[in-house]
Amino acid sequence: MNTLLQELSNDLQQITGWRHHMHRHPELAFEERHTAEYITGQLRSWGYEVATGIGKTGIVASLTAGDGSKAIGLRADIDALPVTEQAAGDHRSTIEGRSHTCGHDGHSAMLLGAAQHLARTRNFNGTVRLIFQPAEEVMGGALAMISDGLLERFPMDAVFGMHNMPGLELGKLYFTSGPVMAAVDNWEIELTGKGSHGSMPERSIDPVVAGASLVMALQTITSRNVAPLDSAVVSVGAFLAGDAGNVIPQSAVLRLSIRSSRPETRKLVLGKVRSITAAQADCYGVAWEIREGTPGAVLVNDAAQTAFAATVAKDLLGADKVVTDGPRFMGSEDFAFFAQRKPGTYCFIGNGDTPMVHHPQYDFDDRNLPVGAAYWVALAESFLR
């Protein structure tokens, strides 16, 4: 076993303790106050300069060694989900209806394990920036930290992220250059017609019929506009209209989840949603309004930094534990907003044959903790050599 990996494996019990503490006390997006206090306490005890309240509940911890001018950013997410946990174990969530069923507790614990080791050894020349980001699950934390001056207040030359992934082999690291995760745009479309009694449809302008037609028309975007070898999803997850069978309502609301795998595809798909909505509304005589959520972003890994990180991982774990043509996912990740502004890469660590993230029975596999922590240390030491 690699010496660094052995050293982090010796810390497994302690790192596991940190994860289990955070797992028992999950907090939702922008509410991670206890989690932030817990993490901050550990970091300050090791000598880090810690800034809190970045993006409301985010943390940036900095440690400098030597006289090097370079800085590296390592990011973990800290928020939980509004999901009632069904997993076994004495570290189960103590808060009903909330749980770390995406593994952010594991991500934070791995980065804490690396933080302790880096502070203990200081085998690098430059500055390490540890970013503990809130509100990933609502796609708001990265932009909130950026708006709070993250990149100006804490300069860094590159930024790196990592996420566990069930279904990928336990303990292996997966790297993919270029687009790796989809942009998500959560839009709401309101169609406004003219209400009437259900027995007199001729006195109405029916938004339900218009909405039903729009739902079907939107399905043609991916089937007839996006190339078969490209990827996009347009899902209408909610159709809200009316309260009674004998009343034609005044309005109908459609809630959409729109995902695209490339920036060009995103532009195409969003344009089609707008034009089809306008055309359908005109056809049925209803007024329409689109309310856009936070603009999505495709997560695009920098080619050079991806190759660098994969080489570091191979040196650490062995080539058989590293996949360099890794998978792409239609899930979304707000690390994309960091990657738009700084070069870097976002890799996956396999969580094995477990329930998928966001499933009530999901749990992070603790055997990954020293692997991920050792990767962060090796990456920082190599980047700041």
* Mean pLDDT computed over 321-342: 96
pLDDT digits (tens, 9 = 90+) for 263-320: 899 999 999 999 999 999 999 999 999 999 888 999 999 999 999 999 999 999 999 9
Q: What's residue 85's pLDDT?
A: 97
Positions at the binding site: 102, 104, 137, 163, 358
Tell me: pLDDT of 26 over 90: yes
Q: What's residue 290's pLDDT?
A: 98
My answer on whether 286 and 305 are in the same domain is no
My answer on whether 315 and 273 are in the same domain is no
Average model confidence (pLDDT) across the chain: 97
For residue 131, the cross-strand partners are: 60, 75
* Mean pLDDT computed over 79-91: 94
Sequence length of the chain is: 385
My answer on whether 26 and 64 are in the same domain is yes
Give 87's pLDDT tier (boundaries 50, 70, 90): confident
Tell me: pLDDT of 67 over 80: yes
What percent of the chain stands above pLDDT 90? 97
My answer on whether 25 and 63 are in the same domain is yes
Q: How many Å apart are CA 287 and CA 60, to the nearest integer?
A: 47
Positions at the binding site for Mn(2+): 102, 104, 137, 163, 358
Q: What's residue 236's pLDDT?
A: 98
Give 64's pLDDT tier (boundaries 50, 70, 90): very high
My answer on whether 170 and 240 are in the same domain is no
pLDDT digits (tens, 9 = 90+) for 200-245: 999 999 999 999 999 999 999 999 999 999 999 999 999 999 999 9
My answer on whether 62 and 41 are in the same domain is yes
- Which CATH number belongs to the domain containing residue 303 in this structure? 3.40.630.10
Q: What is the pTM of this model?
A: 0.92
Tell me: pLDDT of 5 over 80: yes
Number of domains in the chain: 2
| Domain finish residue from 292, 309, 342 | 292
Tell me: pLDDT of 256 over 90: yes
| Domain finish residue from 275, 292, 309 | 292
My answer on whether 253 and 176 are in the same domain is no
First and final CA of the chain: distance in angstroms? 22
* Mean pLDDT computed over 170-195: 97
Q: What's residue 88's pLDDT?
A: 82
Q: What's residue 1's pLDDT?
A: 74
My answer on whether 169 and 239 are in the same domain is no
- Which CATH number belongs to the domain containing residue 208 in this structure? 3.30.70.360
Instruction: Determine the structural domain holding residue 174 and report its residue range.
Output: 3-180+298-383
My answer on whether 240 and 285 are in the same domain is yes
My answer on whether 173 and 200 are in the same domain is no
My answer on whether 257 and 279 are in the same domain is yes
pLDDT digits (tens, 9 = 90+) for 117-135: 999 999 999 999 999 999 9
| Domain finish residue from 292, 327, 349 | 292
My answer on whether 11 and 89 are in the same domain is yes
